[in-house]
């Protein structure tokens, strides 16, 4: 039997764990000939379907999630037309809800799995050609020969620690810039918008098992590991043990993980303070800074504790913390989103991600959508269209605000000046967003230089007191000194003053100096030194007088 896995991702930077996780459990089964076709959602569906057809599989399997859903259906429907005897089976987060409508609408799909597949997929394979024997396969959903919808519930792997690690599969992809490491399965939290909100029990791997897997990852030269643990710090003792383990691989590996800021114990805070710079990249799950919103969303932890924990994480000098907000949550108003962004900027969040709520299959919030007054798209990615608190136009404003944050606040080159403008001026975000919309650039891709030009011109026109700061940001980003943001910079035959205050770097006579005057006298300002002998566009020296 030839089993072909269709590995359809959003980009070549990402890779699903599903194939290696499943293959690792049955790699020794000589009756199965494995094959794979990898593609992205941006490729021509006819070309991908043709490649699958040329492989002539008996069984086609794939993982379905909200960003590959539509393209995947186009591909596999063509495959079924070309190979009518091919059995097509799907799994993934898209099938955590009721699957009857999907199966009736897409008859080319033989069945779908709901839940975790490592134990049940191997059980199903011997019975794949005998649908009358499918009724005892946990998690399997299908239409029987009489057209009746059969739903076998949800599959859960209880012996999580006994699974063969996906890293041992020959299909594990080591070519990506990062790999994912699942240390825990399930989540103690009950967030109504999350597919893991009801995923119990929580199952964990031993520290020794994780160490063995990290050793494999380290041997492959991987520099970044994304730890798949829904709430890393739900147990302080285990979190400390994991941090000690991560230290064993420092500085070779950087770990990306999520922490719940409301559950930071003093003991764990002290541990985080001692970690070397660059070991961790943190995501702080916050979603909203409003108590009623968090209560309605059934997110555990008190808001006061979450704010205190978030402030602590963002202030840590040895790591960067990103924070996320979700527009469209029930009881969350647009004005509150603007205010919450200012708070996160005040805390010094390394990035602020503003996403629109998506009502994913299998989530409590999707089941209660009508009760909560939420209208959402019935098609992937199931984004919220309107709630009682935020209307259609306001959600579009939130989406555009997210674009602004990504382009300016989340860009290291422009973050400092953008943060100052946000904190010093309550109306800046509104005014700058209106400006970007008016000039037709809010939804256009912009280079780093283009964003710097726009920010400088906006400051020059509306916030002239920040004009010099915008110029400094431009210079330190290594941008051209011949363009508008450097219009006041003096570059020819600059002689250093008798006295200056060095801000960074070390002055040497062979540095190429430029001077940015500040104030009307043009005698005081900032000095920047550039390497003359190497092609380094950012200044290596900065001083002021």
Q: Are residue 139 and residue 258 in the same domain, yes or no?
A: no
Indicate whether 401 belongs to any domain: no
Residue indicated by tokens 């508008």: 484
Please report, for the domain that includes residue 285, its CATH number: 3.80.30.20
Tell me if 399 sits within 8 A of 406, measured CB to CB.
no
Q: Are residue 186 and residue 329 in the same domain, yes or no?
A: yes
User: What was the pLDDT predicted at 423?
Assistant: 97
Please report, for the domain that includes residue 139, its CATH number: 3.40.50.2300
Q: Are residue 518 and residue 437 in the same domain, yes or no?
A: no
pLDDT in tens, 223-266: 999 999 877 888 999 999 999 999 999 999 999 999 999 999 99
For the whole model, what pTM was predicted? 0.90
Per-residue pLDDT of the chain (545 residues; tens, 9 = 90+): 999 999 998 876 667 889 999 999 999 999 999 999 999 999 999 999 999 999 999 999 999 999 999 999 999 999 999 999 999 999 999 999 999 999 999 999 999 999 999 999 999 999 999 999 999 999 999 999 999 999 999 999 988 989 999 999 999 999 888 899 999 888 877 788 887 766 667 888 999 999 999 999 999 999 999 999 877 888 999 999 999 999 999 999 999 999 999 999 999 999 999 999 999 999 998 899 999 999 999 887 889 999 999 999 999 999 999 999 999 999 999 999 999 999 999 999 999 999 999 999 989 999 999 999 999 999 999 999 999 999 999 999 999 999 999 999 999 999 999 999 999 999 999 999 999 999 999 999 999 999 999 999 999 999 999 999 999 999 999 999 999 999 999 999 899 999 999 999 999 988 999 999 997 777 899 999 998 766 568 999 999 99
Q: What angle in degrees, to the nearest 10, is found between the helix axes of 448-462 and 412-424?
A: 20
Q: Are residue 116 and residue 99 in the same domain, yes or no?
A: yes
Q: Are residue 469 and residue 501 in the same domain, yes or no?
A: no
Q: Are residue 192 and residue 229 in the same domain, yes or no?
A: yes
Indicate whether 166 belongs to any domain: no
Indicate whether 170 belongs to any domain: no
CB atoms within 10 A of CB 184: 22
Structural domain count, the chain: 4
Q: Are residue 227 and residue 309 in the same domain, yes or no?
A: yes
pLDDT in tens, 190-204: 788 887 766 667 888
- What is the C-alpha separation between 526 and 20, in angstroms, rounded? 55
Tell me if 247 sits within 8 A of 214, measured CB to CB.
no
Q: Are residue 263 and residue 353 in the same domain, yes or no?
A: yes
CB atoms within 10 A of CB 145: 7
Cis peptide bond prior to 356, omega within 30° of 0: no
Tell me if 496 sits within 8 A of 527, measured CB to CB.
yes
Structure tokens at 502: 């060095």
The contacts of residue 319 (CB under 8 Å, 6+ apart) are 272, 275, 277, 278, 279, 280, 281, 282, 313
Please report how many Cα atoms fall inside a 13 Å half-sphere around the Cα of residue 120, on the Cβ side.
24
Indicate whether 311 belongs to any domain: yes
Q: Are residue 428 and residue 372 in the same domain, yes or no?
A: no
Q: Are residue 291 and residue 349 in the same domain, yes or no?
A: yes
CB atoms within 10 A of CB 295: 11
Q: By residue range, what is the domain housing residue 44? A: 2-151
- What is the C-alpha separation between 513 and 171, in angstroms, rounded? 54
């Amino acid at each position: 039997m030839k089993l072909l896995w269709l590995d359809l991702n959003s980009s070549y930077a990402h890779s699903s764990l599903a194939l290696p996780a499943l293959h690792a459990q049955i790699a020794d089964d000589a009756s199965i000939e494995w094959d794979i076709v990898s593609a992205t959602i941006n490729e021509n569906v006819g070309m991908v379907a043709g490649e699958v057809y040329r492989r002539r599989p008996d069984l086609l399997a794939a993982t379905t999630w909200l960003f590959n859903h539509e393209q995947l259906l186009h591909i596999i429907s063509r495959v079924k037309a070309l190979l009518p005897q091919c059995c097509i089976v799907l799994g993934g987060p898209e099938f955590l809800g009721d699957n009857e409508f999907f199966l009736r609408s897409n008859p080319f799909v033989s069945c779908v799995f709901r839940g975790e597949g490592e134990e049940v997929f191997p059980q199903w394979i011997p019975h794949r050609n005998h649908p009358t024997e499918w009724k005892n396969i946990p998690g399997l959903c299908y239409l029987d020969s009489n057209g009746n919808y059969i739903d076998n519930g949800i599959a859960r792997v209880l012996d999580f620690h006994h699974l063969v690690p996906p890293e041992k599969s020959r299909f594990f992809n080591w070519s990506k810039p990062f790999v994912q490491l699942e240390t825990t399965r399930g989540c103690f939290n009950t967030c109504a918008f999350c597919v893991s909100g009801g995923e119990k029990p929580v199952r964990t791997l031993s520290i020794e098992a994780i160490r063995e897997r990290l050793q494999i990852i380290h041997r492959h030269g991987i520099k970044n590991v994304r730890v798949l643990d829904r709430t890393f710090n739900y147990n302080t003792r285990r979190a400390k043990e994991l941090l000690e383990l991560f230290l064993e691989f420092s500085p070779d590996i950087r770990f990306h993980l999520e922490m719940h800021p409301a559950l930071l114990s003093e003991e764990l805070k002290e541990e985080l303070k001692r970690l070397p710079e660059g070991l961790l990249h943190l995501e702080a799950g916050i979603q909203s800074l409003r108590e009623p919103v968090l209560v309605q969303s059934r997110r555990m932890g008190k808001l006061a504790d979450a704010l205190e924990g978030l402030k602590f994480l963002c202030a840590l000098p040895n790591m960067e913390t990103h924070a996320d907000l979700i527009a469209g949550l029930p009881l969350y108003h647009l004005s509150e989103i603007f205010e919450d962004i200012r708070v996160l900027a005040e805390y010094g969040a390394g990035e602020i991600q503003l996403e629109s709520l998506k009502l994913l299959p299998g989530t409590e919030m999707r089941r209660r959508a009508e009760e909560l007054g939420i209208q959402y798209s019935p098609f992937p990615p199931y984004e919220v269209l309107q709630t009682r608190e935020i209307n259609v136009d306001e959600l579009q404003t939130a989406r555009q605000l997210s674009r602004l944050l990504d382009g300016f606040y989340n860009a290291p080159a422009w973050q400092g000046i953008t943060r100052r403008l946000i904190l010093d001026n309550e109306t800046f975000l509104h005014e700058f967003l209106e400006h970007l919309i008016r000039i037709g650039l809010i939804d256009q891709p912009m280079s780093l230089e283009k964003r710097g030009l726009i920010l400088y011109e906006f400051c020059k026109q509306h916030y002239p007191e920040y004009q010099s700061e915008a110029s400094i940001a431009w210079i330190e980003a290594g941008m051209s000194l011949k363009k508008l943001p450097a219009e006041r910079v003096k570059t020819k035959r600059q002689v250093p003053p008798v006295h200056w205050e060095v801000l960074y770097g070390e002055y040497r006579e062979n540095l190429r100096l430029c001077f940015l005057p500040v104030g009307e006298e043009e005698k005081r300002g900032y000095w920047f030194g550039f390497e003359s002998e190497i092609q380094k566009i950012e200044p290596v020296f900065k001083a002021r007088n």
